[in-house]
Amino acid sequence: MYKALEEKIKNRTVLVGIIGMGYVGLPLAVELGKENFKIIGIDVNRDKVDLVNSGRSDIDDVKDEDLQPLVKAGKIEATSDFSALKEVDCVAICVPTPLSKTKDPDVSYILAAVEQVEKYLHPGQLVILESTTYPGTTEELILPKLEKTGLKVGKDFFLAFSPERVDPGNESYTTKNTPRVVGGVTPQCTQIAKFFYEQTIVRAVPVSSTKSAEMVKLLENTFRSVNIGLVNEVALMCDRLKIDVWEIIDAADTKPFGFMRFYPGPGLGGHCIPIDPHYLSWKLKSLNYYARFIELAGDINSRMPEYVVERVNRALNERKKSLKGSKILVLGVAYKKDIKDVRESPALDVIKLLENGGAEVSYNDPHVPSIRMNESVMKSIKLTQALLQSSDCAVILTDHTAYDYDWIVQNSQLVMDTRNATKNVKEKQKQIVKL
């Protein structure tokens, strides 16, 4: 089975199925398609399927001009019919793994995908989970379901975990040139999964087990969460000490060793960093261990939207205004600059808190035409001189490069800058309040 699958991968006769055509699955499909693989993308969202089949992308990192030729050439095809897995040789599961309201892992999307894989599992098939999850998921949840078919892992089929490493909007490191960690249930599982990824990705790094591969991903994002939590707390300290946190960070960054620069902000966003560490914390609680760094960082980071609103309120008070009744213009709602992704964006929390405080809130984002706030939809409004001048405060939550910050400051009564976007603005500094 191993040799036959290896030969199919080598000569590009292997059929690849990717479950989930989102921020992870679609870029992977495009990279595989460019290397002459045939891909069946499976997604339960019919609108997503139709979009892919029309050669259009709703993902920041996948351009229409890259997707369209592959669709036209028959290299990429999308469907909502899981029976397509009957013919598939390699299956990559790239589905969401959110948290519940109590911050417990929600693996329902993984289990739903695995149920379909189990239904159509056949000898010689490679199954890879890419969705971020807690250590032990692959062997504890997925393996038993697949072996219920009577097929034996490492002999009849192959099972591995390879965590996605997607950074939306990063033009330097993409799916293709970011190394992939691979851990299989058996050595042969690791080997064949590594060989598969090496056809399209610059480097595949094998580890001893699926649990190790799962832990690698959580360490990567916990590292960022904890360090961002630290620098966010430093920002709170600097506010009390009445010193500029941005100056402190820039000065510390001149040290050529022993320091790594992180920046404070209005909170954590995206699908990974605000969520993944809690998967590890949850797993450790089941082993009677309390992950103190993770919990503390999560607490600090989650409170940053409240701090931003408190700073806005304080700045308005200093100008003899109150938050209630003030016109607040939010600039940027995506969770990071120059993308349209609003998943877990702290801007959504800031807007809710501002509205709860009685402010009249509007927003502009050149990348995000609308956002859903509970049951209502809020639309981006055109950024004009009149809008800035009529707003009591402009709050920069996302530092998009499309913004002219000199112009924004010159035409604003007050600017609350949570990203140090106005660093190089020279005039009217008295109007700027920084995090």
CB atoms within 10 A of CB 193: 29
Residues 6+ apart with CB under 8 A from 145: 114, 115, 118
Pairing of strands 360-364, 327-331: parallel
83 secondary structure, DSSP code: G
Report how far residue 276's alpha carbon sits from residue 324's, in angstroms, rounded to the nearest whole number: 36
Query: Residue 220 burial (CB < 10 Å; 0-12/13-18/19+)?
Result: middle
Q: What is the side-by-side strand order in the sheet with 125-129?
A: 76-79, 38-42, 15-19, 90-93, 125-129, 157-161, 180-184, 204-206
Among all residues, which ones are annotated catalytic? 272
Cα 292 to chain centroid, rounded: 24
Residues 6+ apart with CB under 8 A from 273: 221, 224, 225, 228
Which residues are 17's β-sheet partners? Answer: 40, 91
User: Which two structure tokens, joined as six digits, stand for 191?
Assistant: 């080997």
Helices 304-318 and 292-302, axial angle in degrees (round to 10): 30
Three-class secondary structure of residue 261 per DSSP: coil
In b/e form, how buried is each residue of 126-153, taking b as 16+ CB within 10 angstroms?
bbbbbbbbbbebbbebbbeebbebebeb
Residue with tokens 């877990």: 344
Residues 6+ apart with CB under 8 A from 166: 23, 24, 27, 61, 175
Which CA distances in Å does 214 have to 6, 32, 100, 128, 390?
Answer: 24, 23, 20, 12, 50
Report how far residue 286's alpha carbon sits from residue 155's, in angstroms, rounded to the nearest whole number: 32
Which residues are 267's β-sheet partners? Answer: none
Query: Residue 16 burial (CB < 10 Å; 0-12/13-18/19+)?
Result: buried
Three-class secondary structure of residue 326 per DSSP: coil
